[in-house]
């Protein structure tokens, strides 16, 4: 895996899973080989967002990821019923996430995007310990309550020495489809302020849009659409900026080449 990127939020309900799936589709459309690991064990959303519910096969003791829109996908939602809750303690959750990382036949990947659960708990710690993360992307909405929790998520990854590739402001504003008037429903600009405090880049602003919601509900990500819609372009922009930051991070950690003195 060339780049392993966590997508985190701290707070639930900010559209983190939707952002993860659409960024993965944008990267895949650009020609990259992409995997998606749904690490939100308690509330897996990726099966719904991609409309894939098959049970993975096991070949030679390796779990085969499912395929959707050119992505290799693994989720706990493939292994349990859609209405079945997971009532597990922390060690069991950590073991399940470790298995989805180490016992799945991911193959060679340019990117593995990990949809992390809300909060700052066991799964985040496990992922940081098991995988050499290229970095994480923080997803937030503009209002103060979401930004405060996003700031805590950013501080947690800093303590774990995981780089922050940037911040995405989701549901940033609403454009009226009839008149084009812009309305800042959840305020606006909060992510930019958080970026300035944390000294990380703003990867992009994604508006609140009916088509994005409908595409998620139907399991057809807007970023997988071949038509060059405005909604797709927002995710494409964030994906390009994220990939650029991942490349910068990779360049920083390359070992120096020793030059022989003559």
| Long-range contacts of the stretch 86-92 (C-beta < 8 A, 24+) | 86/41, 86/42, 88/41, 90/121, 90/122, 91/122
Q: How confident is the model at residue 259 (pLDDT cuts 50, 70, 90)?
A: very low
The pLDDT assigned to 258 comes to 47
- Tens digits of per-residue pLDDT, 34-77? 999 999 888 899 999 999 999 999 999 999 999 999 999 999 99
Task: Name every residue whose Cβ is closer than 8 Å to that of residue 91 and which is 6 or more positions away in sequence.
Answer: 122
pLDDT at 254 over 70: no
- Residues 4-29 have pLDDT tens digits of 999 998 788 899 999 999 999 999 99
pLDDT value of residue 2: 93
What pLDDT is stored for residue 17 in this prediction? 96
pLDDT tier at 252, thresholds 50, 70, 90? low
pLDDT above 90 (res 88) = no
For position 226, what pLDDT does the model report? Answer: 84
Residue-level pLDDT at 147: 86
Q: What percent of the chain has pLDDT over 90?
A: 61
Q: Determine what percent of the chain is predicted with pLDDT higher than 70.
A: 95
The pTM of the full predicted model, rounded to 2 decimals, is: 0.91
Chain centre to alpha carbon of residue 183: 26
Output the pLDDT for position 50: 97
For residue 103, CA distances in Å to 78, 107, 118, 159, 170 come to 15, 11, 24, 28, 33
pLDDT, residue 261, reads: 42
Q: What is the pLDDT of residues 166-190, one digit of tens each?
A: 999 999 999 888 888 889 998 888 8
- In terms of pLDDT, which residue wins out, 81 or 60? 60
- Residue 110 is given by DSSP the state S
How much is the average pLDDT of 84-94? Answer: 79
Banded pLDDT at 256 (limits 50, 70, 90): very low
Residues recorded for the chain = 262
What structural domains does the chain harbor?
3-253 (3.40.50.300)
């Amino acid at each position: 895996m060339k780049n392993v990127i966590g997508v985190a939020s701290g707070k639930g309900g900010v559209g983190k899973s939707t952002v993860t799936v659409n960024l993965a589709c944008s990267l895949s459309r650009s020609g990259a080989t992409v995997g998606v690991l749904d690490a939100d064990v308690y509330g897996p959303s990726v099966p719904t967002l991609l409309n894939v519910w098959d049970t993975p096969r096991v070949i030679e003791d390796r779990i085969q990821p499912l395929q959707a829109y050119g992505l290799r996908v693994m989720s706990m939602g493939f292994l349990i019923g859609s209405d079945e809750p997971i009532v597990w303690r922390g060690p069991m959750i950590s073991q399940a996430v470790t298995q989805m990382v180490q016992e799945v036949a991911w193959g060679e990947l340019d990117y593995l995007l990990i949809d992390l659960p809300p909060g700052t708990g066991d799964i985040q710690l496990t992922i940081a310990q098991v995988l050499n993360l290229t970095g994480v992307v923080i997803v937030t909405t503009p209002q103060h309550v979401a930004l405060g929790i996003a700031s805590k998520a950013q501080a947690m990854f800093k303590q774990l020495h995981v780089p922050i590739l940037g911040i995405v402001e989701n549901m940033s504003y609403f454009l009226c489809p009839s008149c084009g008037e812009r309305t800042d429903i959840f305020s606006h600009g909060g992510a930019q302020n958080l970026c300035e405090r944390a000294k990380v880049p703003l990867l992009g602003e994604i508006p609140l849009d009916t088509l994005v919601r409908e595409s998620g509900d139907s399991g057809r990500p807007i970023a997988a659409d071949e038509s060059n819609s405005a909604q797709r372009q927002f995710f494409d922009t964030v994906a390009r900026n994220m990939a650029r930051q991942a490349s910068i991070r990779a360049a920083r950690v390359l070992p120096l080449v020793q030059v022989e003195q003559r």
